[in-house]
Amino acid sequence: MDKRQSIASSGVDAVRSLETEHELSSRREMLDRWAATEKTCFDAGATYLAAVDQFDGMTNTAAQTAFENAAHGLGVAAQAVDRFYAAHRSSLEEARAALAATPRIARDAKAQAEQAQLELASADPSFVDYPSIRSAFLSVDTAVAAVDASLASNDARGARAAAADVREAAAALKAALAAAPARAREAQSALASVRTRVEAVRTRFDRLAPAFSTLLREFNVASSADLSDNERASARHIEQAEEDLAAARAAASAGNPEQALEYVAQARAHLSDAEELVDAVTDRVDLLRKVKADPVAREQSVRFRLRDAQQLAVNRGLVAEWGSVLDAQLARIDRASAALTGTHPDYWSYLQDLDSISAFITGVVDRMRASAR
C-alpha cells in the first residue's frame, strides 16, 4: 500500500507543482478524490500500527482478529489507490514526467542564453551600446536569474515559465544582433527621408495663414473659432521636428543609429501633427465653400435619410414606438436651415447640426432593424 500510495502521491504533487490555481480548480474532482483516498491509506496504516503496538508477537484470538482487520484495511486502501491511479493515470504520469524534465528544460534554456551572450561577445563592439541590444541583454540576465531562483526554491512551475522567458530573451538578443549591422544604413535613409518631409510640410504650412484669412473674410467668425490656434501649434510641431532631426543627426554621427531612428520617429510624429493642423484649415475652406455654393444639398440628403427611416418604421410596424421620435428630427432640420441668415451665415454650425441629426437617424434605423429580427 505504501509503495502504491507513494507513486500516486508523487503524481498528484507534480500536478500541484506545475499547474496554476486556475488550472487546479478544474482538477477539483481529482484532488478531492485523492484526499479521500489518502485518508483511507492513513487510516489503514494507523490501524495496522495500532495492531502491531498492541499485539506484536501474540497469537491469541484478539491478536489474530486485529491483524486480519488491519490486513483487510490495507488491502482496501491499496485497491482505492489503484482505482484512483487508473482513473487519472494520464494526467499523473504526464505531470510526473514534466516535473522530472524541469531541470533539463532549465539547463537547455540557460545554454541558449549562454550562446546568445557569446555571440554578443564576438560581435562588433559598437553594437553593445545599441538600446535594443542593451535591453535584450538585460532581459536575458534577468530571465536566467529567475530560473536559478525558481530552481533554488523548488518552484517547478516558476522555473519552466522563467525558462520560456530565457529562450524568448535569447532569441530577441540574437535577432537584435542580426539586425544591428543594417541600423546605420536605416538611420541614414530615414534621415534623408525626414529632411525631405520637413521641407514638404513647411510648403504646406505656408498655405495655412492664407486659408485662415479666407475663413475670416468669407465666412462667419464662428466657422473658424476652433482653428484659431492651428498656425501657432503647427509651427511649433515643425520646430520640434527639426529639433528631433538635429538630435538624430548627432546620434547617427556618434555611432548610435538606433537612437537616431528613435529621434526620427519623434520627428515624423510631429510632422504628422503639423500636417493635420494645416489640413484642418484648408479642408474647412473647401468644405464651407461647397456648402455656401449649394447649402440645400446637404439638407436634402438628411431629409432623404429621414424619409427612408420613416418608411422603415411604417413597413416594420414601429410607428407607435419611433414615429414621433423621427418626426421631431424634421423640426430640427427646419431649425438648422432657418438659422442660415445674415451676410455671413454660420455654415459650420449648420453642418454640425445636420451631421448630428443624420447620426441620430442612423441610430434609430439600427435599433428598428435590430428589434425586428
Q: Which domains does the chain have, with CATH numbers?
A: 1-100 (no CATH), 181-292 (1.20.120), 295-371 (no CATH)
pLDDT on residue 100: 85
pLDDT on residue 373: 58
The lowest-confidence range among 32-36, 167-171, 351-355 is: 32-36
Residues 204 and 200: their CA atoms lie apart, in Å, by: 6
DSSP assignment, residue 220?
-
Q: Is the dihedral of CA 328, 332, 334, 338 positive or negative?
A: positive
More confident residue, 35 or 248: 248
Model confidence pLDDT, tens digit, residues 227-248: 999 999 999 999 999 999 999 9
pLDDT at 90 over 80: yes
pLDDT on residue 169: 94
pLDDT on residue 308: 95
Across the chain, what does the average pLDDT equal? 90
Integer-rounded Cα radius of gyration of the chain? 39
pLDDT on residue 22: 65
The lowest-confidence range among 59-68, 195-204, 246-255 is: 59-68
Q: Return the closest-CA partner of residue 353 out of 299, 310, 317, 311.
A: 299
C-alpha cell of residue 281: 484649415
Give 16's pLDDT tier (boundaries 50, 70, 90): confident
Give 188's pLDDT tier (boundaries 50, 70, 90): very high
